[in-house]
Amino acid sequence: MSIKIDKEKCNGCGLCADICPGNLIKMVGKGKNRKAEMAYPDECWGCMSCVKICPKHAIEFYLGDDIGGKGTVLIAETNHKEIDWTACKEGCILEKIITSRKDANKY
Amino acid sequence: MEQNTVEADLLIIGGGTAGCYAAKTAAKLNPDLNIVIAEKADIRRSGCLASGVNALNAYITKGKTPDFYVDYATNDADGIVRGDLLLTLSQRLNKVTADLEKMGLVILKDENGDYVARGNRNIKINGENIKPLLARAARRQRHVKIINHVNIVDFLVDHNRIYGAVGFSLLESAAYVFHAKTVIIATGGASGLYKPNNPGFSKHKMWYSPFNTGAGYAMGMRAGAEMTTFEMRFIALRCKDTIAPTGTIAQGVGAKQVNALGDVYETKYGLRTSERVYGTVKENQEGRGPCYLKTTGITRQQEQDLYHAYLNMAPGQTLRWLENGGPREQNVEIEGTEPYIVGGHSASGYWVNTDRETTVHHLFAAGDVAGGAPQKYVTGALAEGEIAAEAAVKQIQKHPDSIPTSVDAKAKAIVKQAEQYLNHTDDQPSIQEIETTMQTVMDQDAGGISQYYGYTTAQLAIAETKIEELQKQIELACAHNMHELMSLYEVRERLLVCQCVIAHLGARKETRWHSFAENLDYPEPDNQHFQKYINSVYRNGQVNIIYRELVKRDEYYEH
């Protein structure tokens, strides 16, 4: 379970590096080339804090193949009202789920 | 290395659930206090609530009383709990819940505006943002200063009184020396002691936060603080591979635990937390595995609700279902995790008085790092943060004294030691290799997953020797940068916690809690000799065991 950071989408803001509870993301490069990099992919807890905070939706979450992952990624777009979750495989959208911030879990 | 000195009236180490709430409480009680939170990551998402939580599992529901909760937790731990701690915590559960709602937490209500209960002790929430809400509540207090990305490694103690702590930055080559009149330790429990379910690439896909490394326990041990009940390990029953929670499936859609033959086995072994784990272990051991939560046949709506619920606390499970087929089509395989030491679920941690002061003067403990009060969950950790903060604030007002000079010499020695770790050049064995060996030793010789959680006295002796050897190796390990320095300290802390766990497991010569402490030499409970706490004090490299009598709920316990 870990994350991938899309270097094209990353704007180098560093929010993900700040928020990671394991201090696992490093900022590398300078100026326009400053980008976030997952420095310790095998130390990720899978909490998705970075995925949720990224303003460019540049971070994808996936399950490692050692725990049955098959290449599907999960991304999240957050705003004050809701989190829009999208699961994609090979660029195709598999499922979209919206969780409203006002709704409690039914279970 | 650059050195920063920070002065505080109250230093809170660890800005997780208990730490944030302690800061808020102390600031409200005395707005003039200079309060500092020192946090290894960023308080907005640090600690075990990073990804969220699905329910508040400790709440006094309609018609129930705090005593009902104490009864439940006492029975679940077969009597080895601190009644005074459980009662004082239970009395505050609903008050802190109301406060959480005021902070912005969404709690499910019925048409009368009452919280909707899930069972007898739980209420339903949207807990995705619970940690950012708690962090905001702490940050909004005018005199609370938050220092993120500083990893505290040792206390500054003189004549059994704490005067501060020392830590190292993750962002730059810098040491931080904190001077404080009073300290609250709230660093959480310890994961990563045992080989995890998925030791490869997904090794950190575990139940508890892999970044909670037992640092608070280790610092306390080195300072001579008394610890309690480290033999009551916690093992969670989880969804296989993703290690996501099972309770939401079991309680949400009424899924029963079944073995490979389809037989419901969950009532066969008893309903205590430890017995639910043990049942699954036995079914596997006796050839009726794997075990499942029977979800096939649930409705499409129920499946969608489960997807939502898991996105709010363990998104990996929803992804897993989307990739491999949902719970309508296939049952969810379950397994026990590796053992953890965590005072929010079992009773291991600092030995505290009723006010949550440890045996080191001016050092308080709250949340998962504090012992004696299992089943405290999120709300119990908040209640303890509040209790500790109230007592700490009173103490600061009473003791406005200065810091002895010996403390600065201690701080210098700690910084010098860190510089030595950074200057070492021999990479053999690496920090990572030492950690992996430690986890293998604990797995094989101190009752890990591979041993179905059981151990013998002879195995514990082997584990003790091997851990001692690794403790020598870690002192020679080499850190190439500040991140590796943190990793080195984390392994060092874990090794010390392992030493304590091994000593405690050996001292409880009975089996009172299956799986949690499965002593194969003594497979039955022994009420005559072991209806008491096993405590310990670490001195000169040795864990010295102390037996103490049980403390009842109507007592006020002082050291």
Question: Within 13 Å of residue B208, how many CA atoms lie on the same side as its CB?
Answer: 29
- Which CATH number among 3.40.50.2300, 3.40.50.720, 3.30.70.1560, 3.50.50.60 corresponds to the domain B2-49+131-188+343-405? 3.50.50.60
Rounded Cα distance between A3 and A75, Å, is: 10
pLDDT of B399: 65
Topology at the third CATH level for domain B237-336: Flavocytochrome C3; Chain A, domain 1 (3.90.700)
Does the beta carbon of A81 lie under 8 angstroms from any beta carbon of chain B? no
Task: Report chain A residues whose CB lies below 8 A from the CB of B55.
Answer: 105
Closest by Cβ to A68, choosing from B40, B204, B320: B320
Closest by Cβ to A94, choosing from B45, B204, B322: B322
pLDDT of A1: 67
Question: Smallest CA–CA separation between A49 and chain B, in Å?
Answer: 7
- pLDDT tens-digit readout, A7-59: 999 999 999 999 999 999 999 999 999 999 999 999 999 999 999 999 999 99
Q: Are B33 and B103 in contact (CB under 8 A)?
A: no
Closest CA to B400 of B18, B25, B14, B32: B32
Q: Are B319 and A63 in contact (CB under 8 A)?
A: yes
- pLDDT tens-digit readout, B293-344: 999 999 999 999 999 999 988 999 999 999 999 999 999 999 999 999 999 9
Quote ipTM for the complex: 0.96
In the structure, what pLDDT confidence band is assigned to residue B400 with cuts at 50, 70 and 90?
low
Higher-pLDDT residue of B204, B404: B204
| Interchain CB contacts (distance < 8 Å): A and B | 174
Residue B514 has pLDDT above 90, yes or no: yes
Question: Smallest CA–CA separation between A44 and chain B, in Å?
Answer: 6
- pLDDT tens-digit readout, B472-501: 999 999 999 999 999 999 999 999 999 999
Please state which CATH class domain A2-100 belongs to.
alpha beta
Instruction: Note whether B47 contacts A49, CB cutoff 8 Å.
Output: no
Instruction: Note whether A106 contacts B308, CB cutoff 8 Å.
Output: yes
Please report the residues numbered 167 through 206 in chain B whose beta carbons come closer than 8 angstroms to any beta carbon of chain A.
170, 198, 200-206
- pLDDT tens-digit readout, B86-99: 999 999 999 999 99
CATH code assigned to B409-533: 1.20.58.100
Rounded Cα distance between B185 and B365, Å, is: 5
Mean pLDDT calculated for residue range B47-64: 94
Question: Which of the residues B293, B307, B317, B323 would you substitute to probe the A interface, choosing the one with the greatest number of A C-beta atoms within 10 Å?
Answer: B323
Question: Which H or E element spans position A104?
Answer: none
Please report the residues numbered 18 through 77 in chain A whose beta carbons come closer than 8 angstroms to any beta carbon of chain B.
18-23, 39, 41-49, 61-70, 72, 74, 76
In the structure, what pLDDT confidence band is assigned to residue B36 with cuts at 50, 70 and 90?
very high
Does the beta carbon of B487 lie under 8 angstroms from any beta carbon of chain A? no
Question: Which of the residues B206, B319, B333, B430 would you substitute to probe the A interface, choosing the one with the greatest number of A C-beta atoms within 10 Å?
Answer: B319
Task: Report chain A residues whose CB lies below 8 A from the CB of B108.
Answer: 104-106
Task: Report chain A residues whose CB lies below 8 A from the CB of B124.
Answer: 104-107
In the structure, what pLDDT confidence band is assigned to residue B402 with cuts at 50, 70 and 90?
confident
- pLDDT tens-digit readout, B454-476: 999 999 999 999 999 999 999 99
pLDDT of B294: 97
Task: Report chain A residues whose CB lies below 8 A from the CB of B249.
Answer: 107
Lookup result for tokens 């957050």: A78
Does the beta carbon of B139 lie under 8 angstroms from any beta carbon of chain A? no
Closest by Cβ to A104, choosing from B107, B314, B315: B107
**Chain A nearest-CA residue for B250:** A107
Task: Report chain B residues whose CB lies below 8 A from the CB of A92.
Answer: none
Residue B24 has pLDDT above 80, yes or no: yes
Long-range contacts at B78-82 (CB < 8 A, ≥ 24 apart): B78/B272, B78/B512, B78/B513, B78/B525, B79/B531, B79/B550, B80/B229, B80/B232, B80/B347, B80/B512, B80/B531, B80/B532, B80/B533, B80/B550, B81/B347, B81/B372, B81/B373, B81/B374, B82/B347, B82/B371, B82/B372, B82/B373, B82/B551, B82/B557
Mean pLDDT (chain B) is 96
Task: Report chain A residues whose CB lies below 8 A from the CB of B41.
Answer: 19-23
Token pair recorded at residue B352: 């505290």
Closest CA to B397 of B389, B405, B385: B389
Q: Which amino acid is at B260?
A: A
pLDDT of B558: 97
In the structure, what pLDDT confidence band is assigned to residue B100 with cuts at 50, 70 and 90?
very high
What are the beta bridge partners of residue A77? A84
Token pair recorded at residue B208: 């508890």
- pLDDT tens-digit readout, B177-199: 999 999 999 999 999 999 999 99
